């Protein structure tokens, strides 16, 4: 019984990590229709920024998190301005451009830092012991950060003028432009925000994973699974998808191999796509 409880708690922690990883892709892919294959590299850049700020500049972890979010957000805004702006609505072109960008970013990082793995010290040490179950404090911190990101993003998209304009563009871009909304600024802010969240995920996950130029590849597949299962443009759906995928894998891994557990998850997602192509929580179709 303790094993099952421990796996469920580990699943909650893993769900928080997966949500942090995927939420940026939900925004760039679901809101802007940009198949951002470089999303994993934004996560990787966030991890490397964290290593530089903490290990080299000796800044506090909290300050490093803020600076990393700003840096990756600015990089995302520049990518949108120079590469993405002219190819909105062209799925094949955005996929090819961002796919090429993944290799460019990886090679630049390799030239600067080398191929060796980097490490970021655990900022919050210790664990909470409940009976036979151990919960690291940093896992609890990740869960808290996932909830903060969720509520901040929901507030930004549904309680502000910017969010209203973004949702209007999502539903009907041409009509929104005719009404005088500057879609270019909204697109840049949105793409930058999605990349900033990817950078945030990178620095938050750096203490619990190895930081390397190819680490983004480990996250991109799971990110797309969350987007597809939860819904292309649903923030709440991304949280639901993260919990379902990670909890299912965590619990099933207690009774079968991890490979088999992930295989079953893929089968479930294929079934969902067959009957709900837009995902479980997708909003109305865009026009």
Name the pairing type of β-strands 133-136 and 127-130: antiparallel
What is the distance between the alpha carbons of residues 279 and 26, in angstroms, rounded to a whole number?
12
Candidate from 111-125, 146-160, 164-178, 248-262 with smallest mean pLDDT: 248-262
The stretch 251-269 carries a mean pLDDT of 80
What is the distance between the alpha carbons of residues 103 and 106, in angstroms, rounded to a whole number?
5
In a domain, 127, yes or no: no
Q: Among 29, 44, 11, 33, which residue's Cα sits nearest to residue 200?
A: 44
What is the distance between the alpha carbons of residues 152 and 51, in angstroms, rounded to a whole number?
26
Beta bridge partners of 211: 118
Give the Cβ contact number of residue 61 at 10 Å. 18
Give the CB-side neighbour count of residue 191, counting CA atoms within 13 A.
27
Containing domain of residue 86, as a range? 19-121+144-275
In the chain, the number of structural domains is 1
In a domain, 150, yes or no: yes
**Whole-angstrom distance between the N-terminal and C-terminal Cα of the chain?**
50
Using the Cα atoms of residue 243, residue 245, residue 246 and residue 252 in order, give the sign of their dihedral.
Answer: positive
Q: Which residue has the higher pLDDT, 224 or 285?
A: 224
* pLDDT score, position 282: 67
CB-based contact 75:104 (threshold 8 Å): no
pLDDT at 149 over 80: yes
In a domain, 267, yes or no: yes
Q: Which residue has the higher pLDDT, 259 or 81?
A: 81
Give the Cβ contact number of residue 4 at 10 Å. 12
Place of tokens 């506090």: 60
In a domain, 69, yes or no: yes
In a domain, 137, yes or no: no
- What does pLDDT average to over the chain? 90
Q: Among 268, 250, 192, 238, which residue's Cα sits nearest to residue 21?
A: 238
pLDDT (tens digit, 9 = 90+) per residue, 48-77? Answer: 999 999 999 999 999 999 999 999 999 999
* pLDDT score, position 5: 74
Phi first, then psi, for residue 159 (nearest 5°) are: -125, 10
In a domain, 99, yes or no: yes
CA distances from 109 to 41, 52, 56, 60, 113 (A): 10, 12, 16, 23, 6
The stretch 146-156 carries a mean pLDDT of 97
- Residue 271, token pair as written in the block: 């079934």
What is the distance between the alpha carbons of residues 43 and 47, in angstroms, rounded to a whole number?
6
In a domain, 131, yes or no: no
* pLDDT score, position 287: 43
What is the distance between the alpha carbons of residues 266 and 245, in angstroms, rounded to a whole number?
9
CB-based contact 94:35 (threshold 8 Å): yes
In total, the chain counts a number of residues equal to: 287
CA distances from 266 to 53, 76, 236 (A): 38, 30, 21
CB-based contact 133:5 (threshold 8 Å): yes
Candidate from 87-101, 199-213, 252-266 with smallest mean pLDDT: 252-266
pLDDT (tens digit, 9 = 90+) per residue, 153-194? Answer: 999 999 999 999 999 998 888 899 898 899 999 999 999 999
User: What percent of the chain clears pLDDT 70, i.e. is strictly above it?
Assistant: 96
* pLDDT score, position 256: 77
Q: In whole angstroms, how large is the CA radius of gyration of the chain? A: 19
């Amino acid at each position: 019984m303790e094993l099952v409880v421990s796996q469920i708690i580990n699943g909650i922690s893993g769900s928080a990590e997966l949500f942090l990883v995927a939420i940026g892709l939900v925004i760039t892919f679901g809101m802007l229709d940009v198949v951002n294959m470089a999303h994993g590299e934004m996560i990787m850049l966030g991890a490397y920024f964290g290593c530089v700020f903490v290990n080299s500049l000796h800044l506090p972890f909290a300050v490093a998190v803020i600076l990393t979010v700003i840096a990756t957000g600015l990089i995302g805004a520049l990518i949108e301005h120079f590469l993405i702006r002219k190819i909105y609505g062209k799925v094949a072109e955005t996929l090819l451009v961002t796919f090429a960008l993944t290799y460019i970013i990886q090679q630049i990082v390799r030239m600067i830092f080398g191929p060796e793995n980097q490490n970021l010290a655990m900022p919050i040490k210790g664990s909470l012991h409940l009976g036979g179950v151990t919960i690291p404090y940093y896992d609890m911190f990740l869960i808290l950060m996932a909830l903060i990101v969720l509520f901040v993003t929901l507030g930004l998209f549904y309680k502000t003028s910017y969010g209203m304009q973004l949702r209007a563009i999502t539903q009907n871009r041409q009509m929104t432009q005719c009404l005088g909304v500057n879609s270019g600024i909204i697109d840049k802010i949105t793409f930058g925000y999605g990349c900033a969240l990817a950078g945030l995920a990178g620095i938050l996950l750096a203490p619990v994973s190895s930081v390397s130029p190819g680490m983004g590849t480990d996250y991109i597949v799971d990110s797309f699974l969350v987007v597809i299962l939860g819904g292309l443009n649903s923030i709440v759906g991304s949280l639901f998808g993260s919990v379902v995928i990670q909890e299912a894998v965590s619990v099933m891994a207690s009774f079968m191999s991890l490979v088999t557990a992930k295989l079953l998850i893929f089968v479930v997602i294929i079934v969902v796509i067959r009957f709900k192509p837009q995902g479980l929580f997708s909003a109305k179709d865009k026009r």
